[in-house]
Amino acid sequence: MAKEQDLKLEGEGAAAEEEQSGGGKKKLIIIILLVLVVLGAGGGAAAFFLLGGDDEAVSDEDVVEEVIEEPEIPAQYIKLKPEFVISFQVGTRQRFVQTSIEIMTRQQSIVDALELHEPMIRNEVIRIISSQDFTALRTGEGRLSLQESLKEALVEIMQTEAGSEGIEAVLFTNFVMQ
C-alpha cells in the first residue's frame, strides 16, 4: 500500500512537471509570436516612411499636371421589341431567321432617339437582314458582317435624326435559323 502511495505521488509529481513545462512552452510560443508581430509592424512602418517620399522635396519644376479622366458613363442596352422574324426563300423551301437585337450606347440622347425613331429603325433592320444570303448567315463571319451592317445603318440614322453617333454596338441576344 505504501508502494502504491509512493507511485501515485511520483506519478502526480511527474504530471505536475509536465504541466509546468507545457505551460512554459505555450508562454514561449506566445512571446515569439508577439515579437514577430512587433517586428513586422516596425518593418512596415519603416518601409512606409522610407519609400513614401517627401512632398516638400518636390520643386515647382518637378510638378507635372495630372490629367483627370472623367469616369466612363455606364453602358445602356436598348432592346428592340418584339423579336425580328424574317422569312427567306431558299430554293423551293421557306426558311426563317428569328433574332433579338439590343443596341449598346452610353448617351441618354441616343436612348431617347432610339425610342422615338423605333419604327424607322425596325424597318431598316428588317431591310438589311432580309437582303442577306441565308447560307452566309449560318457562319460566324456572316453574322459578324450582319452586325457591322446593322451598326453602320443605325449610326447613320442616329447621325441624321439625333445629330450624334453614340451607338457602340449592335448585339444579337438570340439568333435562330430554321
pLDDT (tens digit, 9 = 90+) per residue, 112-158?
999 999 999 999 999 999 999 999 999 999 999 999 999 999 999 99
Residue pLDDT, tens place only, 60-73: 555 566 666 666 78
What pLDDT does residue 172 have?
Answer: 95
Distance CA 101, CA 84 (A): 8
Residue 5 reports pLDDT greater than 60? no
Indicate if the pLDDT at residue 57 is higher than 80: no
Q: What is the predicted pLDDT for the residue at 33? A: 83
What are 79-116's pLDDT values in tens digits? 999 999 999 999 899 999 999 999 999 999 899 999 99
Total domains, the chain: 2
Residue 62 covered by a domain: no
Is 110 found in the same domain as 45? no
Q: Is residue 128 part of a domain?
A: yes
| One domain, residues 166 and 87 | yes
Between residues 177 and 1, the one the model is more confident about: 177
Q: Is residue 36 part of a domain?
A: yes
Statement to judge: residues 27 and 87 lie in one domain: no
66 part of a folded domain: no
Do 84 and 39 belong to one domain?
Answer: no
Same-domain pairing of 40 and 93: no
Range of the domain at 81: 76-177
Judgement on whether residues 107 and 147 belong to the same structural domain of the protein: yes
